[in-house]
């Protein structure tokens, strides 16, 4: 089974993903936990380019194809082999990030991006995509203070440096996209304590048969 986590910066996606992985492992299943960008060796190099705030001149289309290259490599080298060996694969971001950030966020056509992603991943879409939904101000405040604490504002801060308007489009984009894919893409209310949010995540994992 293939599950992905999505959401704006600072939505608590990373914490929920870690807890979900532990929860699935406790049920005796093998899990591969991975992420985008940067889930393969090539991807680590692409990630460094994509997230460096000094690369602010990357065009929307160049950015798009770098994400697609990262994903194509990730699917073939990492995700498909793990699924074939019977593991549950849990990824921090996947194709829906491109559709929402480069599409709803940057203004490229989401349906066109859906098709390009479909080519990049050879038709492999997750069975379940959980979108951690939180108001943009709270999320960005959390993400910026985390980057500052880790000292990675410059190396990894290209998206955190985007405007509130951009992140609002991203949040709304996730909500619109989820409405178009009600079976697979589920919105999770990410407000409240981590325990409260995780309880909501568990309900959806159980509904997916885990
Ligand atoms: P990351 O440091 O992994 O952020 P987060 O902790 O929020 O997941 O950075 C990933 C950034 O790349 C994030 O801001 C979203 C962006 N992104 C895209 O714009 N398109 C994509 O296809 C992917 C995978 C990520």
* Sequence-separated contacts (24+) of 13-19 with Cβ below 8 Å: 13/92, 13/132, 13/190, 14/92, 15/194, 16/130, 16/132, 16/188, 16/190, 16/194, 16/197, 16/198, 16/201, 17/90, 17/92, 19/194, 19/198, 19/201
Taking residues 43-62, report their average pLDDT. Answer: 96
pLDDT band at 64 (very low <50, low <70, confident <90, very high): very high
Strands (E), 75-179: 88-92, 128-133
Ligand 1 within 6 A of CB of 47: no
Looking at the whole model, is its pTM more than 0.75? yes
Q: Is the dihedral of CA 118, 65, 34, 148 positive or negative?
A: negative
Indicate if the pLDDT at residue 167 is higher than 90: yes
Spell out the residues 6+ positions from residue 142 whose beta carbon is closer than 8 angstroms to its own: 9, 10, 12
Atom of ligand 1 at shortest range from CA of 95: 22
What integer pLDDT is reported at residue 142 of this predicted model?
87
Nearest CA to ligand 1 atom 20: 98
Picking from 18-32, 154-168, 187-201, which range would have the lowest pLDDT averaged per residue?
Answer: 154-168
Tokens of 41: 């060796």
What integer pLDDT is reported at residue 1 of this predicted model?
98
Rounded CA separation 140/111 (Å):
27
Nearest CA to ligand 1 atom 14: 159
What integer pLDDT is reported at residue 27 of this predicted model?
95
Ligand 1 within 6 A of CB of 9: yes
pLDDT band at 61 (very low <50, low <70, confident <90, very high): very high
Mean pLDDT of the chain: 96
- Dump pLDDT digits (tens) for 116-163: 999 999 999 999 999 999 999 999 988 988 888 899 888 888 888 888
Distance 46 CA to ligand 1 centre (A): 12
Residue to mutate (ligand 1; options 5, 33, 37, 44; most atoms within 8 A of CB) = 37
Distance 57 CA to ligand 1 centre (A): 17
Tokens of 71: 């994903």
Taking residues 164-182, report their average pLDDT. Answer: 96
Residue 142 or 75, more confident: 75
Tokens of 186: 């589920």
What integer pLDDT is reported at residue 153 of this predicted model?
86
């Amino acid at each position: 089974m293939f599950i992905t986590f999505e959401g704006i910066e600072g939505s608590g996606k990373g914490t929920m993903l870690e807890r979900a992985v532990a929860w699935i492992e406790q049920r005796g299943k093998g899990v591969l936990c991975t992420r985008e960008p940067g889930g393969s060796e090539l991807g680590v190099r692409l990630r460094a380019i994509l997230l460096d705030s000094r690369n602010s001149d990357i065009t929307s289309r160049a950015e798009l194809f770098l994400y697609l290259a990262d994903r194509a490599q990730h699917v073939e080298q990492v995700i498909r082999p793990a699924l074939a060996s019977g593991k549950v694969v849990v990824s921090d971001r996947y194709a829906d990030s491109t559709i929402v950030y480069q599409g709803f966020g940057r203004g490229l056509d989401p349906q066109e991006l859906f098709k390009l992603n479909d080519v990049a991943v050879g038709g492999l879409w997750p069975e379940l995509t959980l979108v951690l939904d939180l108001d943009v101000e709270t999320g960005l405040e959390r993400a910026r203070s985390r980057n500052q604490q880790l000292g990675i504002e410059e190396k990894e801060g290209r998206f955190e440096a985007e405007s509130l308007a951009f992140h609002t489009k991203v949040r709304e984009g996730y909500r619109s996209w989820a409405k178009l894919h009600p079976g697979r893409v589920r919105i999770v209310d990410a407000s409240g304590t981590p325990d409260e949010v995780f309880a909501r995540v568990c309900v959806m994992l159980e509904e997916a048969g885990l």
